[in-house]
Amino acid sequence: MRLTDALQYRLPLAGVVSILHRVSGGIMFILLPFVIWLFDTSVTSEISYDRFTSAFVAGIGFVPAFIVKLAVLALIWAYLHHAIAGVRHLWMDMTHSVTKEQGRSSAIVTLAASLVLTVLLGARLFGLY
Partner 1 sequence: MAINHGSKRLVVGAHYGARDWLVQRITAALMALFTLVLLVQLLFGKPLGYDKWAGIFSAQWMKVLTFVVIVSFAWHAWVGMRDIWMDYVKPVGTRLVLQVLTLVWLVGCAGWAVQVLWRL
Q: List interacting residues with partner 1 (CB under 8 A).
A: 22, 25-26, 28-29, 32-33, 36, 39-40, 42-44, 46, 49, 83, 86-87, 89-90, 93
3-class state of residue 63 by DSSP: strand
Q: Give 53 or 64: the residue with its C-beta nearer to partner 1.
A: 53
Q: Cβ(80)–Cβ(114) under 8 Å?
A: yes
Instruction: Compute the least distance from the CB of residue 86 to partner 1, in Å.
Output: 5
Instruction: Compute the least distance from the CB of residue 87 to partner 1, in Å.
Output: 7
CA dist 78 and 123 (Å) reads 16
Q: Give 37 or 126: the residue with its C-beta nearer to partner 1.
A: 37
Q: Give 1 or 101: the residue with its C-beta nearer to partner 1.
A: 1
